[in-house]
Amino acid sequence: MIPDHWRRAALTPPTAAGEPLGSGVLRASPEDFEVEEILGFAASGEGPHALLRVRKRGANTEWVARELARAAGCKPFEVGFAGLKDRNAVTTQHFTVPRGKRVAEEFTGLTGEGYEVLAAAAHQRKLPRGALEGNRFAITVRALDCDAAVLQERMARIGAGGAPNYFGPQRFGRDAGNLAQVLSLAAQLARGERPRSRDRSAQGFMLSAARSVIFNAILAERITSNTWSSLLAGDVANLDGRGSVFPVEAPDADLEHRCAALDVHPTAPLWGEGASLAGGEISALEERVAAQFPEALAVIAQERMKSERRALRIRVRDLEHEYSAGVLRLAFALSAGSFATTVLREIIAAVDPGE
């Protein structure tokens, strides 16, 4: 059984903007949830790989990767992609395949069940996980009844101040099943059992969930104390849209101004080995909250995962909306690794028929 505080951190953490303004239906069809990857670079124009721009509908990323491997005559592990995308959506994302003796452009127009290659060009390297600047979203919510003026105010608040950078429920699996696996593995370790080898993909999801639930719980604590969007003494700051972090002994006027402008953000740990950069009360808070998840800590320690930092806040770029006749249409862009559903829950309560 998954403890209640684990479920709250994973699935129902506190919002920062207030109560949802109404309830609506998300993903009545895949076209209601469109995602487009922003790579941040172009194909090199030469090399042994083909960089493919692929549109998929109703198909998951790993299945499309296997289909592309079959078409390219290569092993599935030779196919590269930057990140996983929702199945119940229309997504445009990038893959690389070894092109062999083919001209890369020959892959353009390749189609299969649920996917189509829109463009292809020669590229020097296999596309690695995480090689992504961000994602652009176009989301339609139906059967929504809310006050248009209050909605406008909420959108302006999020556009100006950002949104909590929670890991979305996708990270934790259906009915938080990835967390159940964390607890199961921790129980085995406590009994001194040697865990059986696990599927590498499933293991990755499970380990990621172990760190993500701790992060969400720390962010929830910062939201409750209304410090999630402010830099405090002992914080570790992140440069917006980048992996760079630095400790903050005491925020000065310049740092406070940059934080208000969403140029820098406070962070929380993705738990793992290594000394924390946080200090003082921030370090104590993080240690105290993490201690509430001893099973997750045991699994993380067993796997010798390295500590990282993640911003507590996301800048919601190019935020636009239209609301008419019970239909809300949203468009915005997020940095890689952030979840559109965490932005959406700051506005409305969405009923997703696909969940």
Distance CA 95, CA 83 (A): 9
Task: Decide if 86 is catalytic.
Answer: yes
Nearest to 224 by CA among 2, 6, 9: 9
Q: How is residue 286 written in tokens?
A: 């993080």
Nearest to 67 by CA among 114, 129, 103: 114
**Which amino acid is located at 54 in the chain?**
V
Q: Are 221 and 335 in contact (CB under 8 A)?
A: no
DSSP string, 250-267: S--HHHHHHHHTTSEEEE
Helix (H, G, I), strand (E, B) or coil at 4: helix
DSSP string, 189-238: HHTT--PPP--HHHHHHHHHHHHHHHHHHHHHHHHHTT-TTS--TT-EEE
Catalytic annotation, pick one of 4, 32, 86, 147: 86
Distance CA 326, CA 322 (A): 10
Q: Which residues are catalytic?
A: 86
